Amino acid sequence: MENGAFDPRDNNLGSSSDDEVKETSLSQIVEAILFSSQQSLTVPQIKKITGIKEGGTIPSIITELNEFYTKHNRAFSIHKVAGGYQLRTNTNFQKWIRKGRILKPIQLSPAVMETLAIVSYQQPVTRAEIEDIRTVDATYALRSLLDKKLIKITGRKEVAGRPILYGTTKYFLEVFGFDSLDDLPRPEDFDIMSKEEIESVVIETKD
């Protein structure tokens, strides 16, 4: 993790005092927190970190910040991702970011991408159920997705042998920019994805 960045999972993070909050604008505090975080932050997390007591205030602040970014043609905005908020560079700047090697690519082969799609739509799902759909062994694809933290083991199915069940992670939502699984594209929309988009998923990092 880079200097100045924090991990919202750190239980030692304390809330700011009311005096600290009053010393600067609430929008600046929220902006700084989102800029420094490597994960999307929920409203309760932002409240705990900043000391802002009114949860309903935070979405209003984020709306005001996005309006400011739009008005001043900023290259970034705050997105609703994985049940929280995340500051992200706008997609039309990706080709320049790639040239600057600011992105850490996650390469997903068509076979792995297909397995991930099955898990995301059928979860919780077993390896056997995935293989019934793909008609090929899914061991490597599942191991690859587990290593990349895009899927996780969610339990065991209550049938003979109690096979492992797989589901997607919060990181999966962050990588693909979804707020929840309800935002997954409909199957009829798949044909708008280019071959390049299917074979290579690129995410921003702050390494």
**What is the C-alpha to C-alpha distance for residues 72 and 66, in angstroms, rounded to an integer?**
10
Q: Do domains 18-89 and 103-204 have the same CATH topology?
A: yes
Q: What is the pLDDT of residue 58?
A: 87
Q: What is the pTM of this model?
A: 0.57
Cα torsion 166, 124, 169, 41 to 10°: value is -160
Q: What is the pLDDT of residue 125?
A: 93
Distant-in-sequence, close-in-space partners of 78: CB < 8 Å, separation ≥ 6: 34, 62, 65, 66, 69, 85, 86, 87, 88
Domain range summary for the chain, segments of one domain joined by +: 18-89, 103-204
Return per-residue pLDDT of the chain as tens, 207 residues: 334 443 443 433 344 444 444 445 888 888 888 888 878 888 888 888 888 777 678 888 899 999 999 998 888 889 888 888 988 887 777 666 666 555 556 778 888 999 999 999 999 999 999 999 988 999 999 999 999 999 999 999 998 889 999 999 988 988 888 888 888 887 655 554 444 544 444 444 333
Cα torsion 77, 3, 102, 152 to 10°: value is -80
Residue 76 CA, chain-centre distance (Å), reads 16
Distant-in-sequence, close-in-space partners of 69: CB < 8 Å, separation ≥ 6: 76, 77, 78
Among the CATH numbers 3.40.190.10, 3.20.10.10, 1.10.10.10, 3.40.50.460, which is that of 103-204?
1.10.10.10
Q: What is the pLDDT of residue 129?
A: 93
Among the CATH numbers 1.20.120.10, 3.30.70.3420, 3.30.465.10, 1.10.10.10, which is that of 18-89?
1.10.10.10
